[in-house]
Amino acid sequence: MIIHLRPDTPEDQLRAFGERLGAIHIRQPERHVLVTSSKRQALNGEAEGVEDYIQETFAFGDDRQLAAKTYTGGKMRRVALSDSLAIGGDAMETLMITGPCAVENAAQIEKAAAFLAERGVKALRAGAFKPRTSPYSFQGLGLDGLKLLAQMRERYGFAIVTEVRDATHVDAVIEYADVVQIGTKAMYDQGVLRRCGKANKAVLIKRGFGSTLQECVQAAEFVLSGGNANVVLCERGIRTFEDKTRFTLDLCGVAWLKEYTNLPVVVDPSHAMGYRYGVPDLTRAAVAMGVDGLLIETHPTPDQAWSDAAQQLDFDGFAALQDSVQAVASAVGRTMI
Amino acid sequence: MIIHLRPDTPEDQLRAFGERLGAIHIRQPERHVLVTSSKRQALNGEAEGVEDYIQETFAFGDDRQLAAKTYTGGKMRRVALSDSLAIGGDAMETLMITGPCAVENAAQIEKAAAFLAERGVKALRAGAFKPRTSPYSFQGLGLDGLKLLAQMRERYGFAIVTEVRDATHVDAVIEYADVVQIGTKAMYDQGVLRRCGKANKAVLIKRGFGSTLQECVQAAEFVLSGGNANVVLCERGIRTFEDKTRFTLDLCGVAWLKEYTNLPVVVDPSHAMGYRYGVPDLTRAAVAMGVDGLLIETHPTPDQAWSDAAQQLDFDGFAALQDSVQAVASAVGRTMI
Amino acid sequence: MIIHLRPDTPEDQLRAFGERLGAIHIRQPERHVLVTSSKRQALNGEAEGVEDYIQETFAFGDDRQLAAKTYTGGKMRRVALSDSLAIGGDAMETLMITGPCAVENAAQIEKAAAFLAERGVKALRAGAFKPRTSPYSFQGLGLDGLKLLAQMRERYGFAIVTEVRDATHVDAVIEYADVVQIGTKAMYDQGVLRRCGKANKAVLIKRGFGSTLQECVQAAEFVLSGGNANVVLCERGIRTFEDKTRFTLDLCGVAWLKEYTNLPVVVDPSHAMGYRYGVPDLTRAAVAMGVDGLLIETHPTPDQAWSDAAQQLDFDGFAALQDSVQAVASAVGRTMI
Amino acid sequence: MIIHLRPDTPEDQLRAFGERLGAIHIRQPERHVLVTSSKRQALNGEAEGVEDYIQETFAFGDDRQLAAKTYTGGKMRRVALSDSLAIGGDAMETLMITGPCAVENAAQIEKAAAFLAERGVKALRAGAFKPRTSPYSFQGLGLDGLKLLAQMRERYGFAIVTEVRDATHVDAVIEYADVVQIGTKAMYDQGVLRRCGKANKAVLIKRGFGSTLQECVQAAEFVLSGGNANVVLCERGIRTFEDKTRFTLDLCGVAWLKEYTNLPVVVDPSHAMGYRYGVPDLTRAAVAMGVDGLLIETHPTPDQAWSDAAQQLDFDGFAALQDSVQAVASAVGRTMI
């Protein structure tokens, strides 16, 4: 249950009320927001002393609350990614986020960045902390990778999207990134989620490949209830019995997210497919669904990439894809940015 | 392994050669085709006596053979659905196939057919033999349903697409339908597949919701190796852990089918989603991928439908969807038919 | 809803009542049974004229009705497999059903049968109609295979368990088998299920590898509502994302079947595992759960088997397994038969 | 690839060799161990200068290396849990680990501990940091919970098994626990895994419910390659399409782990099943497979539990289960401890 209270609610009565409810408190300029478990469907005696300060209450069928479309009356949240870039809301735009799987070295990221800037790309993605499943693979450049990404921002003006692997380096990622990407393997990581709830950066949560849509939205609730309203969700493929492709992109799930949540939705066809031949078709499919953004892997020399070699586009492949999606976006009344 | 032999290969030598190989024989006007297990990678002594009649041989890595894109040198098969309607090949068309889940009675199917004919729909789908999972639900009108569908063809000129549930009534479906739909629960049914291999009607094979892409293509091999070259594949959602939607539409799988097989591909977003709110977005996604056809449930009064009530579009919903997809098709260089 | 009526209910009133309900009628010596959809929770005016003949009514939450444990008041059904062999009920026995994947030729099945008879095995399994996923693999000996199995019954007294692939040969399988096995790929095949509902042979339904437990029980309802009370269910592994093993044996599902249905439950560890090294451990696990039977593949020379070579036990392997399970059965108060 | 070097290998040559290989170095009393990616199958020039110190090399087909059974020549690792308790190896013992889902308060954990001590239980499990999927549910007592568990150890001599949720509190869990449990949602958390690799406590890694067996073993490789040899794996159910049970216990996977890894294997039937009615049968199944340990939830008053209420056993249920498993363990030549 969500309760809105007037900004002038007396502090100690507010605190006492929150404690009686076991509620999480979010302080916003225009109001106080208290959130309890959705099991609570109404207020009874707990409101004693604050009745006059309560503006509105919202009851829910499950713990999809701050992220629920019913909470915002059908309105979609618009999320600022940087001073000059935002995603979602009613803008009818689709944002292209692209870049290599990982920062490998200064030359590689510079080459990718220069090309993508020339192509008008506004958001650069690349990993510095790689959540590999084996300790014996390339693990990413870590802090050095973050610094290289910051240089690309300074040089080309990108919003930087980069992944946090676990709570040990979440502060560093928050410091250097514009958009903190919580990867598919970290979706349940409360050390990361709670810290991001206190950050002033946008947070992009990738659905765990073994996670339900409901759990993905509840991961967003950790960040939203921490006070950070800038959350974007990303569908990137779930794990199924099919093994001809790396994962199974769940576009039914995207339709559900669009129907039931108020958060911008991004689709990552590269990780879902696992092979570059399918990325263009799936990208166009996502654009035709009217998603708010795309996350696509592009690498100067994919075959030499240190990770995800099979699925990254080369420059020609990206350019061809980018050229083709404009018409699809127009066909559904949207603009590619 | 596939072996092409000249049409004038002497009959008994051909038969002896086929027996030595344990091969399936397909008689075509322009050649004889023998197909063995893909485990055979080359001919040795078996060809003795027919060497001069062999035109070409094709080896494969698995039992995706007649359906393999490598077999046709990259060319996609074009499949005739009726005298005036075909699907696939290099036509750059996307065919709308639609209609109610089931034929419920004469008035209902007439109402749907009249509306869809007016909307320019060329292929009508509706079930007469329903593969329900419970014996206590509505099971379809059976032969009476087929007859009603035949009336709709006569009245409006549709190609009729209808499902065969099992081998007991496959002859009837072949007699009345233009396109025999082998449903998701019958995909492994050899009684049906083998019979369809001997039929002169197009066959639309729906992927089993628990079936791999490879198995789906191998189901097509049963029909193709029986001598019926008119096979269309349909992706309609697979079963995963996600339960907010009825199934998970596998568009990564569609990308794979387009890359590795020579068969036309149809997408059914209605059964995948299970809820009508997601059908338009998923339809546009499929069109943007350049599929050859769509299978969409439309019903005069969806809420009173005897099956699949939640997922069928009403007439307004269908009209709005149909209007919207033209632009998406154009954006990828295709025409809706 | 299930309604029991006295055996002397007047035939035409019974028929009229059944029609008003849209019910399936089962004629039993001791009563008439009518079964409607579980959506019906009570009788109203429909019972007019037969009120005095109604003995008992049973309402259910879903279409698990004749198979529900609540229907039999907690009692488990005992199913006759042959004149001298039965399974389930409160017998505290676990039946070993074993034999090769397929009948390959007379010598092979004779060799297996002789060995298994000597080991005291009472039920022989082997396939004559093989539901292969490729048309280019060995498809089974068909009717010749059934005849060889019938010879083994005459020679050694086995109950014969063999699979029906589809409706085209279900009559032959019913004629030759003692237990008609409906395989995992045919679980939804109503042509087979309905025919088996009219047969006087026991029916073993294998859960589809992509099928829910609920659907598996509803497949049994097709047979039970046809009037054949002799149904056994078999868990044989479901399809999941894990690929180190062939399927994933769902023993949680077995626990559910034991709790909620009144049917005997058999476990097939061979197909679930796909590799013989895991079969003994999984067999002992199933026995420790108190299942009513086991379905295990044993072949004279597994490495030369024409199908399922990796998972079949050889004679020594089977003997060692058989020796080891007695103690496990005793530990849970059961006897191996 | 794993390389064993003599303990007297000169430090700087060892370091240079390791750097040339990009290897991880583990210092053991009896030898130096270097581990590289399994892509390396042999040494070439890199060994120059250390040839004489190399004792043995091991090549592998994938990054299952330190955990591979082939590495230990078929021998299973024995893992010390406390001064007086160990698991695995060739001991032919099965360890019962049990306790409530969460520490709720002093009275509840004391009540559980007293009962379990009386029943001879040697390892107590309970969560202090709960990885709930909703921020609005009970999140565990945190550090206070750990302190209560430490009191139970002092009072009753238990080895304490408790879960780390994320990297922010891994130090505290390592300090208070005897066995650090890495939960199903944290299996990929390198912040946790790497820290545990440097800890002197046993680590129990639960397989992620969306994770493959291979990934689970590779999670163990993070800990093992950090220098901590005390790793135990736990199968606790994977996520599948079946929704009648909470998860699907993968006992085929347990058979694979026993065949291919050298680590002790524990099974958690409580979380797999999700309902207490199935826990006893599944526990007996696991014991019959010869697993090294069990993880079972027992609560003084399950229906009032703050989490996992449906699946926890009450005291009578646990006692009955414990009594029943002894015979099953004996039947497979093992002892319950």
The contact set of D with B (CB < 8 A) is: 239-241, 243
Distance from CA of B118 to the nearest CA of C (A): 36
In chain A, which stretches have pLDDT less than 50? none
Whether C215 has a pLDDT exceeding 90, the answer reads yes
Pairing of strands C54-58, D86-88: unpaired
| Rounded Cα gap, residues D289 and D334, in angstroms | 10
User: Residue C208's closest CA among B215, D210, B185, B134?
Assistant: B185
Distance from CA of A288 to the nearest CA of B (A): 5
Whether B224 has a pLDDT exceeding 90, the answer reads yes
| Rounded Cα gap, residues D29 and A209, in angstroms | 41
Residues of B in contact with D240 (CB under 8 A): 241
pLDDT 10s digits, C130-146: 888 899 988 899 999 99
User: In which residue are the tokens 């309760």 written?
Assistant: A3
**D touches which chains (3+ CB pairs under 8 A)?**
A, B, C
pLDDT 10s digits, D3-40: 999 999 999 999 999 999 999 999 999 999 999 999 99
Question: Is B186 in contact with C188 (Cβ distance < 8 A)?
Answer: yes
D22's torsion region: left (phi>0), alpha (psi -120 to 50) or beta?
left
Q: How far is CA C5 from the centre of its chain?
A: 29
- D252, C248 contact by CB (below 8 A): yes
- C260, C64 contact by CB (below 8 A): yes
Would you say the pTM of this structure is higher than 0.90?
yes
- C126, C100 contact by CB (below 8 A): yes
Which residues, listed in sequence order, are joined to residue C235 by a DSSP beta bridge? Answer: C267
Residues of D in contact with B210 (CB under 8 A): 241
pLDDT given for residue C44 in this prediction: 84
User: In which residue are the tokens 């109610």 written?
Assistant: B100
Pairing of strands D86-88, A93-99: unpaired
Which whole-number Å values give the CA distances from D138 to A37, C228, D305, in the listed order?
Answer: 9, 51, 11
Which residues, listed in sequence order, are joined to residue D204 by a DSSP beta bridge? Answer: D181, D232
User: In which residue are the tokens 């990325």 written?
Assistant: A279
Residue B119's φ and ψ, nearest 5 degrees, are -80, 5
Which whole-number Å values give the CA distances from B319 to B85, B100, B268, B305, in the listed order?
Answer: 22, 14, 17, 19
Residues of B in contact with D241 (CB under 8 A): 210, 239-241
Q: What are the DSSP calls for B40-55, one per residue?
A: --S--GGGTTTGGGEE
pLDDT given for residue D314 in this prediction: 97
Nearest-by-CA chain C residue for D212: C242
| Rounded Cα gap, residues C101 and C104, in angstroms | 9
Quote the crossing angle between the two packed helices D279-288 and D251-260, to the nearest 10°.
20
pLDDT 10s digits, C139-179: 899 999 999 999 999 999 999 999 999 999 999 999 999 99
Distance from CA of A332 to the nearest CA of B (A): 7
Q: How far is CA D292 from the centre of its chain?
A: 11
Residue ranges of alpha helices (H) inside chain A are 11-21, 106-118, 143-156, 170-176, 190-197, 213-225, 251-260, 269-273, 279-288, 315-331
pLDDT given for residue C314 in this prediction: 97
Nearest-by-CA chain C residue for B238: C210
Which whole-number Å values give the CA distances from C57 to B201, C8, C21, C24, D59, in the listed order?
Answer: 48, 17, 13, 14, 68
pLDDT 10s digits, B277-287: 999 999 999 99
Residue C25's φ and ψ, nearest 5 degrees, are -110, 125
- C18, C47 contact by CB (below 8 A): no
Nearest-by-CA chain A residue for B237: A252
pLDDT 10s digits, B287-303: 999 999 999 999 999 99
pLDDT given for residue B167 in this prediction: 96
| Rounded Cα gap, residues B264 and B202, in angstroms | 11
pLDDT given for residue D44 in this prediction: 84
pLDDT 10s digits, B145-181: 999 999 999 999 999 999 999 999 999 999 999 999 9
Which residues, listed in sequence order, are joined to residue B265 by a DSSP beta bridge? Answer: B233
| Rounded Cα gap, residues D295 and D127, in angstroms | 13
Across chain B, what does the average pLDDT equal?
Answer: 97
pLDDT mean for each 10 residues of chain D (337 residues) = 97 95 95 97 91 97 98 98 97 98 97 98 96 90 97 98 97 98 97 97 98 98 98 98 98 98 98 98 98 98 92 97 98 98
Whether B44 has a pLDDT exceeding 90, the answer reads no
Distance from CA of C237 to the nearest CA of A (A): 13
Nearest-by-CA chain C residue for B1: C136
End-to-end CA distance of chain B: 37
pLDDT given for residue B239 in this prediction: 98
Cβ contacts below 8 Å, chain A against chain B, sum to: 143
Question: Is B167 in contact with C168 (Cβ distance < 8 A)?
Answer: yes
Q: CA triplet B170, B173, B176: central angle to 5 degrees?
A: 150
| Rounded Cα gap, residues B101 and B86, in angstroms | 23
pLDDT given for residue D27 in this prediction: 95
Question: Is A240 in contact with C241 (Cβ distance < 8 A)?
Answer: yes
Average pLDDT over residues B30-55: 94
Pairing of strands C93-99, C335-336: parallel
Q: Is the ipTM of this complex over 0.90?
A: yes
User: In which residue are the tokens 């099979």 written?
Assistant: A310
| Rounded Cα gap, residues A260 and A254, in angstroms | 10
User: Residue A54's closest CA among A43, A40, A65?
Assistant: A43
Cβ contacts below 8 Å, chain B against chain D, sum to: 7
User: Residue D317's closest CA among D286, D287, D289, D275?
Assistant: D275
pLDDT given for residue B262 in this prediction: 98
- C139, B41 contact by CB (below 8 A): no
Domains of chain A, start order: 2-58 (3.30.70), 78-336 (3.20.20.70)
Average pLDDT over residues B40-60: 94
User: In which residue are the tokens 């479309």 written?
Assistant: A69
Q: Which amino acid is at B5?
A: L
Distance from CA of D226 to the nearest CA of A (A): 9
Across chain A, what does the average pLDDT equal?
Answer: 97
**B touches which chains (3+ CB pairs under 8 A)?**
A, C, D
The contact set of D with A (CB < 8 A) is: 24, 35-38, 63, 65, 131, 133-137, 165-169, 185-186, 188-192, 208-211, 214-215, 218-219, 221-222, 225, 239
Across chain C, what does the average pLDDT equal?
Answer: 97
Question: Is B237 in contact with A252 (Cβ distance < 8 A)?
Answer: yes
Nearest-by-CA chain C residue for A241: C241
Residues found in chain C: 337
- Going by the DSSP 8-state scheme, the letter that residue D77 receives in this structure is P
Nearest-by-CA chain B residue for D238: B241
Which residues, listed in sequence order, are joined to residue D205 by a DSSP beta bridge? Answer: D182, D233
- Per 3-state DSSP, chain C is made up of helix, strand and coil in percentages (nearest 5) of 35, 20, 40
Q: CA triplet B162, B325, B85: central angle to 5 degrees?
A: 40
Q: Which amino acid is at B63?
A: D
